[in-house]
A and B are shown apart, each in its own frame.
Chain A
């Protein structure tokens, strides 16, 4: 492998990796406020992209994407209000099973709304063939869009959680729900908000990646597995570590494809998942006390 090739693989790895990171952050947001892994997280990306693709036929692309993100955000909120809130006293096992059921129903609904066709949004700037040359590697400008949007999402979320009242209230809920409630925080709305937020960033990520990877109704589940792998790798609830872990998994996959058959690309993430679950379920960067999560 020569130098430009390495750059090429690295950039494509970082691109998918950043999408995995966003998915993982979506998992983390919901996990922090509810203690539940939302298996339907991957579906949010596909719903967002599919909605934007349909809307882009009637309205300009930026408007279509904005509307799609809003609609998916609303869907996330709706799911929490209708299903999760009703089962708030349920055991973790029950909640997991509910979100698995939701992911299947959403996926099947998408199959009936948008059929099996592989679709994609148009490139945000330029066309399929336009390239930019970086260090001898030729890349699509869309990759810069993906990286840029991911960076904006991560920065915005960090600022949101650190400096706004609502963001701080959400963090308080994830820290100690009872204490937060005693401080006058409406913890139920924080849970709803966390679902909306994770759905919204998922939809945005789904839109920016759509021109590169294409979108099909059943793409949610593999994305969810990888997002979960990344979330675990970084340690559940740790969003900054999720970014690092996401880029790591993306790079690992990219270089696997360069060496082995593409069919085994999926297996890489799962093997990483099984290894991390077996040897370090609290994540690579975890503090000691977080390992208590293993029995959560």
Chain B
């Protein structure tokens, strides 16, 4: 009963997604779907970061770095030209099982490179490994120190993609091929594939949401929330706080990397602007507006704010808007905009009614817990 109820929003959002498609199609404005698709991939980063910030209570100012690691790894592997090694036995073997493929670039030139699936796997592996290596020492830090360390990591990634010839310096990597998922389905940014990509992106995002929801409602999720509330208390109750935090850090990095890979194939390119500190701050701002420990808030805000930003609504004030959002939310609504007013606010109106209210709520939660267990 309880388990089904937490998936209702997934069903509702699936319906909303289809409805949005129909509305846009009826209004002859399907071109909006391109930005919605891109926003959905950015929202993937936000969902991961929400797990880390909202549930494990750890700030990361370096998530654009993981997004870039995913995107750049896939971009480099799928665009590197292996034609010179055509006859090498290793390449031939990979080619026979479809991990090295031949395709034509924009100018009709034949390119022999790694298949997107292989690149996708490699990107996730690399992002996960880097997150683990960085996370092992860094996740022990708290507050400022963790924020600064992740910021430092993000800056290093930015400097590397900006400075290395392999990553195209300031130009980034372009001419990234489409990602053929199965026959007939491919991550491709051309107008012809707009509708199917809209649905591909949303299937990925909703799958990520289901995963995140399951995690939050599992033993792991309870452990994470206990860490967020009081790390010492959680620790004293035998929760291995360090391991849970580290695992969440790696998982959220993987979410970011998936977003990076798919958006790179969708756009056909990636540039250093994806790795800037400002991008990382933007993801943090979105999680904050969504209400920190609120996955649906993060998803809604992630899609909405990124969509507005991509449409150029904020103009030259794009970054300023996200900075202002951070300040205002943290000052006036630290629980986010999409939160049910919490009970403490009610109690200032009438203590007695609040107590009665709380009793009802408490009764309900205990009864559901009883029926569940």
- In the assembled complex, the Cα of A204 lies from the Cα of B284 at a distance in Å of 32
Asked if A264 CB lies within 8 Å of chain B CBs, one says yes
Asked if B111 CB lies within 8 Å of chain A CBs, one says no
Q: Is the CB of A101 within 8 A of B330?
A: yes
Asked if B323 CB lies within 8 Å of chain A CBs, one says yes
Q: Is the CB of B324 within 8 A of A225?
A: no
Chain B 125-156 interface 0/1 with A at a Cβ cutoff of 8 Å (1 = within): 00000000000011001111101110111011
- In the assembled complex, the Cα of A103 lies from the Cα of B281 at a distance in Å of 11
Q: Is the CB of B155 within 8 A of A270?
A: yes
Q: Is the CB of B142 within 8 A of A295?
A: yes
Q: Which of B57, B151, B334 contacts A90 (CB 8 A)?
A: B334
Q: Is the CB of A274 within 8 A of B152?
A: yes
Most buried by A among B59, B145, B278, B317: B145
Q: Is the CB of B278 within 8 A of A104?
A: yes
Chain B 252-295 interface 0/1 with A at a Cβ cutoff of 8 Å (1 = within): 00000000000000000000000001100100110010000000
Q: A-side interface residues toward B, CB under 8 Å? A: 36-37, 83, 86-87, 90, 92-98, 100-105, 107-109, 111-112, 221, 225, 228, 232, 261, 263-264, 266-267, 270-271, 273-274, 277-278, 281, 294-296
Q: Report chain B residues within 8 Å CB of A100.
A: 61, 281, 284, 323, 326
Q: Report chain A residues within 8 Å CB of B334.
A: 90, 94
Given A277-B138, A295-B142, A102 and B155 contact (CB-CB distance below 8 Å): no
Q: Is the CB of A277 within 8 A of B159?
A: no
Q: Is the CB of A93 within 8 A of B163?
A: no
- In the assembled complex, the Cα of A230 lies from the Cα of B59 at a distance in Å of 22
- In the assembled complex, the Cα of A167 lies from the Cα of B326 at a distance in Å of 33
Asked if B92 CB lies within 8 Å of chain A CBs, one says no
Q: B-side interface residues toward A, CB under 8 Å? A: 57, 59, 61, 137-138, 141-145, 147-149, 151-153, 155-156, 159, 162-163, 277-278, 281, 284-285, 288, 316-317, 319-320, 322-327, 330-331, 334
Q: Report chain A residues within 8 Å CB of B324.
A: 101, 105
Given A221-B277, A277-B138, A104 and B323 contact (CB-CB distance below 8 Å): yes
Q: Is the CB of A97 within 8 A of B326?
A: yes
- In the assembled complex, the Cα of A228 lies from the Cα of B148 at a distance in Å of 8
Q: Is the CB of B143 within 8 A of A104?
A: no
Q: Report chain A residues within 8 Å CB of B322.
A: 104
Q: Is the CB of B316 within 8 A of A112?
A: yes
- In the assembled complex, the Cα of A103 lies from the Cα of B148 at a distance in Å of 14
Given A102-B323, A104-B323, A93 and B59 contact (CB-CB distance below 8 Å): yes
Q: Is the CB of B323 within 8 A of A277?
A: no
Q: Is the CB of B331 within 8 A of A108?
A: no
- In the assembled complex, the Cα of A126 lies from the Cα of B147 at a distance in Å of 43
Q: Is the CB of A101 within 8 A of B325?
A: yes
Q: Is the CB of A87 within 8 A of B323?
A: no
- In the assembled complex, the Cα of A270 lies from the Cα of B334 at a distance in Å of 30
Q: Report chain A residues within 8 Å CB of B141.
A: 277, 281, 294
Given A86-B331, A97-B59, A266-B155, A274 and B149 contact (CB-CB distance below 8 Å): yes
Min CB–CB distance B231 → chain A (angstroms): 9
Closest 4 pairs between A and B when the two form their complex, measured CB to CB: A104-B323, A101-B326, A108-B320, A101-B327
Q: Which of A86, A108, A294 contacts B319 (CB 8 A)?
A: A108
Q: Is the CB of B142 within 8 A of A94?
A: no
Q: Report chain B residues within 8 Å CB of A277.
A: 137-138, 141, 145, 148-149, 152
